[in-house]
Amino acid sequence: MDLAFLADCFLRIVPGIPMTLALTALSVSVGLVFACLLAAMRLSGNTLLDWPARLHVFVFRGTPLAIQMFLIYFGLAQFEVVRTSVLWPYLREPFWCAFGALMLNTAAYGSEIVRGGLLAVPCGEVEAARACGMSGFLLFRRIVAPIALRRALPGYGNEIILMVKATSLASMVTLVEVTGLAARIISTTYRVFEAFAVAAAIYLAINFAIARAVAALEWWLSPHLRGAPPPAPDLRLAH
Partner 1 sequence: MTAAPPALELRGIVKRFGALEVLRGISLAAAEGEVIALLGASGSGKSTLLRCINCLEIPDAGEVIVAGEAIVFRPARGGRVPADRRQVDRIRASLGFVFQSFNLWSHMTVLENVIEAPVHVQKRPRAEAIAEAEALLAKVGIAEKRHHYPAHLSGGQQQRAAIARALAMHPRVLLFDEPTSALDPELVGEVLRVIRGLAAEGRTMLLVTHEMGFARDVASRLVFLDQGRIECEGPPAALFAEPPSERFRAFVARHREEERLRGAG
CB of 142 to partner 1, least distance (A): 6
Q: Is 48 in the site for partner 1 (CB under 8 A)?
A: no
Closest CA to 1 of 166, 194, 173, 138: 194
Alpha carbon distance 181, 185 (integer Å) = 6
Q: Is 127 in the site for partner 1 (CB under 8 A)?
A: yes
CB of 61 to partner 1, least distance (A): 30
Q: Which of 1, 81, 228, 237 binds partner 1 (CB under 8 A)?
A: 228
CB of 132 to partner 1, least distance (A): 4
Nearer to partner 1, 2 or 127 (CB): 127
Q: Is 45 in the site for partner 1 (CB under 8 A)?
A: no
198-227: contacts with partner 1 (CB under 8 A):
221-225, 227
Q: Is 69 in the site for partner 1 (CB under 8 A)?
A: no
Q: Which of 11, 14, 119, 142 binds partner 1 (CB under 8 A)?
A: 142
Q: Which of 138, 204, 205, 209 binds partner 1 (CB under 8 A)?
A: 138
User: What are residue 192's phi and psi, to 5 degrees?
Assistant: -65, -45
Alpha carbon distance 20, 196 (integer Å) = 15
Q: Return all residues near 92 (Cβ < 8 A) that are at least 6 apart.
A: 77
Closest CA to 72 of 104, 25, 107: 104
CB of 121 to partner 1, least distance (A): 10
Report how many residues bind partner 1 under the rule CB under 8 A. 32
Q: Is 120 in the site for partner 1 (CB under 8 A)?
A: no
Give me the DSSP letters along 98-165: HHHHHHHHHHHHHHHHHHHHHHTS-HHHHHHHHHTT--HHHHIIIIIHHHHHHHHHHHHHHHHHHHHH
Nearer to partner 1, 189 or 222 (CB): 222
Torsional sign, CA 85, 86, 88, 94:
negative
Closest CA to 71 of 39, 105, 41: 105
| Cβ atoms of residues 180 and 199 within 8 Å | no
Nearer to partner 1, 83 or 130 (CB): 130
Q: Which stretch binds partner 1 (CB under 8 A): 43-51, 58-66, 67-75, 146-154?
A: 146-154
| Cβ atoms of residues 145 and 117 within 8 Å | no
Give residues in contact with partner 1 (CB under 8 A): 122, 124-125, 127-136, 138, 142-143, 146-147, 150, 221-225, 227-229, 231-232, 235, 238-239
